[in-house]
Amino acid sequence: MTDLKSLKNELYDEYSFYYPNHRLSKNIISNSMSPPLPCTIEMICSNYTVIKYKKGENEGFLIYYNGIGESENDFLYLFDYLTSVQIPFDENLKIRASNANVSSSISNNFTIAKQRYLQEWNFSNSIIESLKDLEITIIDQNIPNFINILQGWNELS
C-alpha cells in the first residue's frame, strides 16, 4: 500500500481494484472508478493484484506481481491472464514485483517470457512493439525508519 501511495502524483488521480468479468461463471461486475471496488481475500492471496487507474483522460492498469519469478513460465501465465481478461499491452500497463523474496533473475525471466510469448503466439506488429516496451519494476522493500529524537545520551552525564 505504501508503494501505491507513493505513485499517486506520478501515475494516477484515482484508482480501483479491478475484477474482470467472467460471464460464464460469475455475475457481471461494474468496474467503475467511483465508488472504487475493495480488495478481496482472493485478490490478496493471488499472485496478481490488478488495479485500474485513471490520470486525467488516460486509463491504465497497475499489476502487483506477488510471486517470486523463479521461471519464465510464471510470466507466460501472467501474459495469458492479461490477454484473457483483455488488458492491453500498452504504455499504460505497469507491472511491479511486490514480493520481498523475489528471485535474483526475475528481470531476465521476464524478458525471456516476453520473447517466448511473442514467438509462440505470432501477434501483430503493434502488440509486439507494446510488449517489447513492457518492463517489470521491483519494489524496494527496505524502508528506512529512523527515530527522530535523541534517546539515551542524557543518562551518560
Per-domain residue ranges for the chain? 2-20+31-142
The residue with greater pLDDT, 59 or 2, is: 59
pLDDT of residue 103: 92
- Residue 137's pLDDT band (cuts 50, 70, 90): very high
SS3 label, residue 106: helix
- Per-residue model confidence as pLDDT tens digits over 100-109: 889 999 999 9
* pLDDT tens digits, one per residue of 17-64: 888 766 555 555 555 666 677 788 888 888 889 999 988 888 999 999
pLDDT at 93 (0 to 100): 93
Q: Cell digits for 72? A: 519464465
The CA distance from 147 to 20, in Å, is 43
Q: Which residue has the higher pLDDT, 132 or 82?
A: 82
Phi–psi pair at 22, nearest 5 degrees: -115, 85
Question: What CA–CA distance (Å, rounded) separates 97 from 47?
Answer: 10
